[in-house]
A = this chain, B = another copy of it.
Amino acid sequence: MLELYFRPMACSLASRIALTEAGIEARYTEVDVTTKKLTESGADFLPLSALGQVPTLRLEDRSLLSENSAVLQYIADRAPNAKLAPPSGTAERYLLQQWLSFVGSEMHKSIVYLIFSPDSNEGALAFARKRAEKSLPVLAKHLAGTPHLLGESFTVADAYLIWALLLLRFSAFELDPAIQDYLGRMLARPAVRDSIALERRLSGR
C-alpha cells in the first residue's frame, strides 16, 4: 500500500485529493514539519526527506518519491481509468507537465511559499504580491475559457491548483471572478470537498 507523508493543509493536500479521486487506498502519516518528526510515532522524518518536505510518497517497494509534480503524476498513472493525467507521450501530457510546473513555480513557490514560509519577511511578501499581480491575471484569463486547467477533464494539475488557491484565499488575496468560479466548481467535487474537510479538522483550522 502507498504511504503518503503529509501535513494537514500543506501542499500534500493535492496528493490526498488525487489519491481520493483515483480511488486508491493509502496510508496517511502526518509529519510535523517544524520539528521534522512524525506526529504519531515521534520518529525522525529527515531520513525520509532530506529537506523535511511533504508530500513524500513511499511506494510498495519501500522507495521514496517527493516533489508535487512527480508524486501527482505517479498517483495519476497508478489509476489510468480515473483519467487524472493524459497518457504519457501525448501532447496533452506535456501540457499537464506545463500546468503542474506553472502551479509549482508561479503559484506555490513564487507566491504561497513566500507568504507562509517561516523564513518569510516584508520584502519577500512584497515580492510575492508583485508576482501575483502578473501571474494571477494570466491564470484568470485561462480559467475563464475552460472548465479545468486542461479542458474537459479534471487532472492532478487541478488538485495542485485547488490547494494553492485555497491558501491564497486564506491570506486575503483578491481572486478574479473567473478564478473564484473555477474554485467553486472544484470544491463541489466530493473527493475535493471531503479531503479538505478532513485536513481542516486535522489542522484545527
Contact = CB atoms under 8 A, between A and B. Distances in A.
Interface size bracket, A side: 35 or more
Given A101-B69, A105-B108, A113-B110, A91 B63 contact: yes
A20 interface: no
Nearest to A88: B88
B50 A73 contact: no
Contact of A121 (B59, B95, B104, B123): B123
Give the copy number. 2
A141 interface: yes
Contacts of A77: 89
A95 B95 CA distance: 19
Main secondary structure of the interface of A (DSSP, over half): helix
25 contacts: A50-B142, A51-B138, A65-B94, A66-B98, A67-B102, A68-B101, A69-B69, A69-B97, A69-B101, A70-B94, A70-B98, A73-B97, A88-B88, A97-B97, A101-B101, A101-B104, A105-B109, A114-B127, A117-B127, A121-B127, A123-B124, A123-B125, A123-B126, A124-B124, A124-B127
Contacts of A127: 114, 117, 119-121, 123-124, 127
Contacts of A109: 104-105, 109-110
Given A74-B94, A104-B105, A104-B109, 10 more contacts: A50-B138, A51-B106, A63-B91, A65-B94, A69-B97, A69-B100, A73-B94, A119-B127, A121-B123, A124-B127
